[in-house]
Amino acid sequence: MPAVLKLCVWLFLAIFVFGLPWSAVAKKPGAGVAVGECKDKGLFGEAKLDAVIPLCDANYPGVDSKESWLVLFYTQDQNTEVGKYFDVQLSKIAMDFGNFASRGKYAAKGKAGKPQKHRKRIQFLADKYDFQGDLYLPKKGLSDTSPVVKVGAVCCDCSVVPATCPGKGLALRLIHGGKEINVEQDARKIPETVRGVFEAMGLVKPGEKLPEVFGVSENKEL
């Protein structure tokens, strides 16, 4: 067989063997989220400085996601209340749940940088926000050291408005256990939101509204 023909045969076999796996790789809904997929990231555009992941139609997690997600839908004109800027409050909530930026003020500091099991983090937050008496944790499990809940945000008044946007204003949704449900809490109220998420996950008994507290989620004690 001529050398050129042999080379063509080998190239064909190489493409057939190695090319198919490459072409067959497709993103499954909820399988993973890449920060760079959204063209307009809104208020959370610095991947290394933000603990919150910008979401859009291209990377919105599906209900089959293995990770639990808290998602804030927002319009930027809502971010005007001094002392309760929702991008800051949501970033602190993200840190509470174990999400940290690579550097900057939302990076893990001190003990917060060490992996922490879900059970310990939930118990810490229950003590921090005074709902430890209402915890309803299973006897086994909760041993994962990943974030208890991933936190993302969808900009609903950016140049490209995602189809998932419910409208103007602020709205929270929780993706957990194969479902996507509304979370009624105001994302600017950290203790209520943290507790509300755990209530929706079935880890805390429903209770009365907590007193409003600002700027309490610096995670210095983690």
pLDDT tens-place string over residues 137-182: 998 999 999 999 999 999 999 998 999 998 778 999 999 999 999 9
pLDDT of 36 over the 90 cut: no
Q: Out of 13-17, 19-23, 50-54, give the one with best mean pLDDT.
A: 50-54
> CA angle 198-199-200, nearest 5°?
90
pTM greater than 0.85:
no
Q: What confidence score (pLDDT) does residue 39 get? A: 86
Cα–Cα separations (whole angstroms), residue 33 to 54, 102, 131: 10, 17, 32
Determine whether 199 is exposed, middle or buried from the number of CB atoms within 10 Å of its CB (0-12, 13-18, 19+): buried
d(CA 13, CA 5): 12
Question: Across-strand partners of 150?
Answer: 69
> What separation in angstroms does the CA of 149 have from each of 15, 72, 99, 142, 216?
41, 13, 8, 12, 19
Chain position carrying tokens 């208020």: 43
Could you tell me how many residues make up the chain?
A: 222
Mean pLDDT of 113-122: 90
Which residue type does 219 have? N
Give the pLDDT score at 23. 33
Mean pLDDT: which of 5-19, 105-119, 136-150 is highest? Answer: 136-150
More confidently predicted of 15 and 6: 6
Distance of CA 202 to CAs 60, 98, 135, Å? 23, 19, 9
Residue 29 DSSP one-character state? T
One-letter amino acid at 159 equals S
Residue 16: predicted pLDDT: 46
Residue with tokens 């004109």: 77
Pairwise pLDDT comparison (10 vs 148), residue with the higher score: 148
Contact between 195 and 184 (Cβ < 8 Å): no
**Taking a C-beta distance cutoff of 8 angstroms, is the pair 190, 175 a contact?**
no
The least confident of 32-36, 108-112, 180-184 is: 32-36
pLDDT tens-digit map of 58-99 = 999 999 999 999 999 999 988 877 777 999 999 999 999 999
pLDDT digits (tens, 9 = 90+) for 201-217: 999 998 765 555 544 54
Phi (first) and psi of residue 108, to 5 degrees:
-70, 135
Distance CA 53, CA 40 (A): 12
Confidence of residue 24 (pLDDT cuts 50, 70, 90): very low
